[in-house]
Amino acid sequence: MIFDDHDVTDDWNLSAAWEAAVYDHPFSRRIVGNALIAYLFCQGWGNDPDGLAEPLRASREWLDSAAGDGSFDCQRHDRLVTRLLRFTGWGYTIDSTPRLVVLDTRTRRWRSERRQHHPSGLMDWEALSEFQQALLGEPSVIIVSPAPIFGVKLIEGIQRLFTWFGKPLLVDAENWMAHPGAARTMLNILRHSRTPQRYVILSGDVHYSFVYAITIRQRRNSPQMWQITSSGLKNTFPDTLLDWFDRLNRWLYAPWSPLNWLTKRRRMLIEPYCPERSSKGERLWNRAGIGQVKLDAEGAPTEVMQLGADDCDTRFDKARR
């Protein structure tokens, strides 16, 4: 529905330093540009033909300029690549019920000005402001965010540690909480009184599946939020490593743990769902497959399933306290 890093190249736009290294070289710049041309023709056109009218027109002009032997003028090609790299309309909204808002978390990054090797925010302030405008007045909304907005706290902490040592690329240290400005802005949007009362956030990217129900602590009429994350069709997380991460996350970030007050989500109450075939206490489900969500008339999920690539389907149910 929308691109992520592996649709183009690993760690795509992860940091300002990454962008400088890639876009200052004509070969790597064209690789990324060609990937955007392919996405425009093969996916984006169908997502939002009106919103992509301008880059489609520019692309048709480039195609029409081909010589009789099928070759293209390099300068025209580079101009098209530059135009696509500057384009800001890849995200889109579908006026369904509930409204579907698909986020572009790759090309409008909130770059760190002082620490260029630190992970960029997944969306900059302007993009987040446009996102908020798409939510106003809606009772319910479905958000497609390639990376989970509410991820696993322990794994995010490990990524933060590697970033501190100057190695963010080693652990793909990009999540919504990695950049303070983007994190605060997104959480403020979700907490705003004029934005929806029900959010369903659909995500992937992390190679395992989990479901969280989220509310705001000590607030009457808190919005209801569900973070639903599906593993990919093929690649899964190393079993033993994910099992330890799952256990440590439950121990270190239990509801009573003071470590929760060190996170940016300390005002949020996050309640995990359990996979039905999981071992005791297991929250993260390490099976390849496709997520399936059924919603009621008000936009709240009534059933969450992971349709396994191994023909074994798994239901997620709210954990008992």
Q: Does residue 278 lie within any of the structural domains?
A: yes
Ramachandran angles phi, psi of 200, nearest 5°: -115, 115
Neighbours of 235 (CB within 10 A): 9
Interval 211-233 mean pLDDT = 92
**Strand, helix or coil for residue 34:** helix
Does the pLDDT value for residue 321 go beyond 80? no
Q: Does residue 216 lie within any of the structural domains?
A: yes
Nearest residue to 105 via CA among 80, 91, 92, 122: 122
Q: Does residue 71 lie within any of the structural domains?
A: no
Whole-number Å distance between alpha carbons of 285 and 278: 8
Q: Is residue 301 within a helix (H) or strand (E), and if so which, with residue range?
A: strand 301-308
Owning domain of residue 148: 88-318
Ramachandran angles phi, psi of 138, nearest 5°: -90, 135
Q: Does residue 2 lie within any of the structural domains?
A: no
Whole-number Å distance between alpha carbons of 309 and 288: 6
Q: Which amino acid, one-letter code, is at 225?
A: M
Q: Does residue 75 lie within any of the structural domains?
A: no
Exposure letters 39-58 (e unless 16+ CB within 10 A, then b): bbeeebeebbeeebeebbeb
Neighbours of 196 (CB within 10 A): 23
The structure tokens listed for 55 are 């880059």
Does the pLDDT value for residue 6 go beyond 90? no
Contacts of 191 (CB under 8 A, 6+ apart): 216, 223, 267
Q: Does residue 186 lie within any of the structural domains?
A: yes
Whole-number Å distance between alpha carbons of 33 and 80: 8
* Higher per-residue pLDDT: 1 or 3: 3
| C-alpha dihedral (4, 8, 12, 17), degrees to nearest 10 | -160
Unique residue bearing structure tokens 């033909």: 49
pLDDT band of residue 320 (cuts 50, 70, 90) is low
Strand extents, DSSP E, 131-172: 140-144
Interval 259-269 mean pLDDT = 88
Does the pLDDT value for residue 88 go beyond 90? yes
User: What is the model's pLDDT at position 115?
Assistant: 87
User: What is the model's pLDDT at position 66?
Assistant: 85
| Number of domains comprising the chain | 1
Nearest residue to 307 via CA among 231, 199, 246: 231
User: What is the model's pLDDT at position 126?
Assistant: 97
Whole-number Å distance between alpha carbons of 123 and 167: 21
Whole-model pTM above 0.75? yes
Q: Does residue 215 lie within any of the structural domains?
A: yes
Q: Does residue 55 lie within any of the structural domains?
A: no
